[in-house]
Amino acid sequence: MPTGKEQSEFVTAMLAHDISNYNQTSRGYLEMLLDEQMGPLTEDQSRAITICLRQSNRIQSLIESVRLIADLRDEPLEAKALSLDDAILDAIQHTQSTYADREVRVHFSPADRHVLAEPGHLVTAFQHLLSNAVRHNDTEVVEIHVLIARDGEEKTSPWKIQIRDNGEGIPLTRHPHLFNRLESLAVHGSGLGLSLVRFLVERWNGRIWIEPQAEGAGAVFGLTLPSA
């Protein structure tokens, strides 16, 4: 007889699989429409389809987040030395491609820095943070600054990463809820994205937080990761 946990995991896997399949079909037709394979589009129609396609991509990202948390929850940590700068550059490219219809400028100076994390998931964490900075930003030109420094004076001190944007910012009253799965969905519309980032960062023995800012001064997320 399956345990409650096993039944829950089965239902989660089944739902994720079925929703992903339905979503893939919808995305396929949206991409065909956007490519004008079914006829020419007006500018308004193209914009509407682009918005629908982006929401479909967010659904897929949500599904992948659920799967990732479920898969890693009981798995032992297998951290490796990974290039922090390469992960951020990959995440920047992904974000600018996802929001190709918007002007997104990411200011980042790559170097040769390495952290202890899990292959593949490090990029995922930064993709969510950068995407969050764009999605909640209504300015004509999105400006994001990625700053990195040692969180201490030792050569082995963790790396501290700050991600600053020029959006409206997040009210202080919402800060305590941002990284909670259910509360973040209710108060900020961030769904599982920031919760997944927290899950991964803490799994790698790091920390993540949001820094208080004056109203309208944008949001600043900070995190630390163990140096490799």
Can you give the residue ranges of every domain in the chain?
A: 4-72, 80-225
pLDDT confidence band for 63 (50 / 70 / 90): confident
pLDDT digits (tens, 9 = 90+) for 163-203: 999 988 887 777 777 777 544 444 444 456 788 899 899 99
Q: What is the reported pLDDT for 123?
A: 93
Instruction: Compute the distance between CA of residue 123 and CA of residue 135 in angstroms, rounded to an integer.
Output: 18
Instruction: Compute the distance between CA of residue 191 and CA of residue 159 in angstroms, rounded to an integer.
Output: 27
Instruction: Compute the distance between CA of residue 223 and CA of residue 153 in angstroms, rounded to an integer.
Output: 17
Q: What is the mean pLDDT of residues 141-146?
A: 96
SS3 label, residue 160: strand
Structure letter (DSSP) for residue 43: H
| Number of residues in the chain | 228
pLDDT confidence band for 159 (50 / 70 / 90): very high
Does the domain formed by 80-225 have CATH 3.30.565.10? yes
State the average pLDDT for the chain.
83
Q: Of 158, 94, 149, 156, which is closest to residue 126 (Cα–Cα)?
A: 94
Structure letter (DSSP) for residue 106: E
pLDDT digits (tens, 9 = 90+) for 122-137: 999 999 999 989 988 8
- Looking at per-residue confidence, does 154 or 212 come out higher? 154
| Cα dist from 110 to 114, 201, 223, whole Å | 11, 21, 17
Instruction: Compute the distance between CA of residue 148 and CA of residue 88 in angstroms, rounded to an integer.
Output: 11
